[in-house]
């Protein structure tokens, strides 16, 4: 009996409800990212829409411009306008499933750092953009591009694509978080995203122009720096504002 009393005395006092344990940020990012990729794998509506738009746009440009090949600034403009408009299709649907199925509210109630949702959405958009570019860029080269870049220029073009994709993904996620609770979310997403993406389009086009020309020039370092700086600025803005944007 005495030992039982001693064990009861040593036991910590019970509380009515235990506080929920904080989930690690990396674990939350992995969970949300896995959910997003599983949903897209089961019903790849976003990727299919982006791929069809890109292919259709390149075919239309091929016949509308009445030129067998493009190079330089014109080729860069066609490439980046098409990729940006295709990205808008994915941006517009970034938070739709979360809002319609209550996933966004559930995440906000969970003991998780909300920037984990931002990071997971940005990574998801990056995966979508890379997947589309693996199809769209070879198709662009086949239908429209004149002299094929050499291996070094392709590597530099991949760097330009990577920097531009980061900017598109961060800005797109930020804008989608603003527009998700509005009625005309598709319209508002485009209205907000396009002006913010103009510097990305300009920087990527200027950096790509010498890579898509007949010469052997490389990507201008200043435009790569512009893209990197723009990515950094909006990355910090998204990190600072996202917590407030997802509130009701």
Three-state secondary structure of 155-221 = HHHHHHHHHHHHHHHHHHHHHHHHHCCCCCHHHHHHHHHHHHHHHHHHHHHHHHHHHHCCCCCCCCH
Query: Could you tell me which residue, 9 or 90, shows the higher pLDDT?
Result: 90
pLDDT above 50 for 221: yes
Q: Which residue has the tokens 């198709």?
A: 139
How far apart CA 181 and CA 245 sit, in angstroms, is 10
pTM across the whole model: 0.81
pLDDT band at residue 7 under the 50/70/90 scheme? very low
Of 170, 179, 91, 98, nearest to 132 (Cα)?
Answer: 91
For residues 86-114, give the mean pLDDT.
69
**pLDDT tens for residues 44-69?**
778 888 889 999 998 888 888 777 67
């Amino acid at each position: 009996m005495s030992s039982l009393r001693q064990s009861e005395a040593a036991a910590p006092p019970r509380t009515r409800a235990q506080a929920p344990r904080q989930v690690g940020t990396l674990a939350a990012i992995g969970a949300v990212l896995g959910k997003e990729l599983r949903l897209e794998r089961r019903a790849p509506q976003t990727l299919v829409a982006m791929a069809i738009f890109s292919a259709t746009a390149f075919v239309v440009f091929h016949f509308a411009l009445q030129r067998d090949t493009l190079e330089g600034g014109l080729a860069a403009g066609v490439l980046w306008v098409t990729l940006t408009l295709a990205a808008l299709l994915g941006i517009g649907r970034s938070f739709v499933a979360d809002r319609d199925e209550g996933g966004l509210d559930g995440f906000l109630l969970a003991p998780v750092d909300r920037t984990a949702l931002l990071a997971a959405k940005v990574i998801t958009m990056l995966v979508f953009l890379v997947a589309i570019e693996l199809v769209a860029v070879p198709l662009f080269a086949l239908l429209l591009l004149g002299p094929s870049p050499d291996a070094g220029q392709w590597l530099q073009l991949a760097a330009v694509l990577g920097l531009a994709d980061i900017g598109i993904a961060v800005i797109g996620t930020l804008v989608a978080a603003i527009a998700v609770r509005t009625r005309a979310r598709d319209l508002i997403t485009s209205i907000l995203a396009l002006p913010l993406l103009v510097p990305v389009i300009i920087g990527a086009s200027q950096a790509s122009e010498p890579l898509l020309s007949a010469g052997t020039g490389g990507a201008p370092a200043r435009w790569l720096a512009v893209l990197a700086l723009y990515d950094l600025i909006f990355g910090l803005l998204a990190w600072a504002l996202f917590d407030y944007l997802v509130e009701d």
